[in-house]
Structure formats: structure tokens, C-alpha cells
Structure 1
């Protein structure tokens, strides 16, 4: 049923992602599917561009890729069934783009407990749930 599972990860809080990774691992094993980890880096604000090195974005991407490779190794998912990507841009836009690119059947992501402000403004998980063209499983920590 779920052959391609996308798991967005915030590398600033990998502990929050552990339940989503574990859930994706179980589903992938059950359905003989693959897991694709995704980290979305924010865009460097234009007003800061002159204060950071010219290769700042490339350095950040390399650091994120190294961190994702560690998360992938520690996930317990066989290497042939897990992959990862780093994208840059708006979080939920990039998640939806990656889901389309990888032909994901399911997006498994964690979300913080809702606060009053997210009921009015919406969260990244909320946007993904609303606009994804595939199933979305939100795992609460």
C-alpha cells in the first residue's frame, strides 16, 4: 500500500522526528516500501547575504546532508530502502514538491502540540495535510 514514504525532518530537533522515522520504518517494512528523509533549509535573508561567506548556502547544505546521513544510518532502515534530500525554501512548499518528485504514497511527519496561534495562522503540518496529494500521517510526540 505505501511503497514510497516521505519523512520531513527538522535537523534542529531530531528527537522530535524519531517517532515519525520509527513509524515510517514499520510501514516500509510492512509494505516493502522505501523511506525518503527530507530536510528543508530556510532561505538566507537578503539583508544578511553580505555578512555571510559566499559559499554559506553550500556549507549549510553539506552540513545538513551529513546530519541526514547519520539519521538515516541510525534509523535501522536498511541502506537500500532509505534515501535523503536537502531542499531550500519554504517548508511546506518544499515538502509538497518533494512528495510529488518522489511519487510519495504517504508523508509521515511530526508536529508540535497545537497552540492557539496555530489555529489561526496554520502550521507547516497543517498546510501539508491540507494540500498534499497523498496521505499524510501526523505523529504526535
Structure 2
């Protein structure tokens, strides 16, 4: 399989998992293919910090997040395959699917934790993306 455009949702807290995602994506890419890294900030969705944190704090966090995603992209993805570092805010699975549609990705490569009993009842982000994505989804454990 030789894909032109892979979208890769990432969690900055788990760089070792992102390395596995990159390895998978590179195996799937055409010689001229690119990888876009997507970070979804879901902090405002849960409203856990909204009452205690100013808008300036969120702006600073977004700038730091953008730099961290770009640094990860530059560190892990060979230059010829480097696409964009993308930041979106919202519900993770909704934003991944929306970005895949917007960027017309050929595939999504994303990580998923090993299932626990509760995930069979609630479903994980990866499971929801697999069901609703407009393209193929490769899940890395």
C-alpha cells in the first residue's frame, strides 16, 4: 500500500507511542507521501479548568502545544515526509474525523490502549474514529 497523505493523531504525553505510529505510517507511505500530526486539545470540553484559568493561560498553552507538536514532527518524521502540525480543540474522535475530511487524508494512523472491560461498554476514541472516518484507519497498540 502506498498512501500519499496520512493523518496521525498524537498524544504529547506518550512520545514512545508516537514513535510506533510514525513507524507504521512510514511503512504505508508512498515515496512522496506526507504525514500530518494532529493534537486535539480536549481540556475545554470537560470544563475542568475553565473556571480557574484565564484566557491568557489557554493562549500560552496553545502556543506551547503548537511548538511541541512541531518539534515532535521534526524529530520523528523524515523531512521528505513531513506535513503539518495541526492543533484542534474539541472532542478527540470528532476532531480527528473532521480533520481527516478537511485534509482529505488517505488514512489515519493512531494509537489505542489495550482494551479494558469499560472500553467494551463506552468505546475508545480509536473505535469511534474507525466507525466514522472517511478513510482507512490503522490502529497501533
TM-score, normalization by structure 2? 0.89
The runs of 4+ residues in structure 1 deviating greater than 2 Å are: 25-28, 43-50, 79-82
Aligned residue for 1:3, secondary structure, equals strand
Aligned partner of 1:137 in structure 2 is 138
After superposition, the C-alpha distances for 1:22-43 in whole angstroms (9 at most, x for unaligned) are: 2112322x35211000000014
Aligned residue for 1:74, secondary structure, equals helix
Change (3 A) 1:75 1:46: closer
Aligned partner of 1:114 in structure 2 is 115
Instruction: Tell me by how many angstroms 1:47 deviates.
Output: 6.4
Aligned residue for 2:22, secondary structure, equals helix
Aligned partner of 2:68 in structure 1 is 67
Contact 1:5/1:24 (<8 A) preserved? yes
- What 5-or-longer segments of structure 1 have no aligned partner? none
Higher strand share: 2
Change (3 A) 1:122 1:3: same
Report how many residues are paired.
139
Instruction: Tell me by how many angstroms 1:53 deviates.
Output: 2.2
Contact 2:12/2:68 (<8 A) preserved? yes
Instruction: Tell me by how many angstroms 1:80 deviates.
Output: 6.3
- What 5-or-longer segments of structure 2 have no aligned partner? none
Contact 1:22/1:75 (<8 A) preserved? no
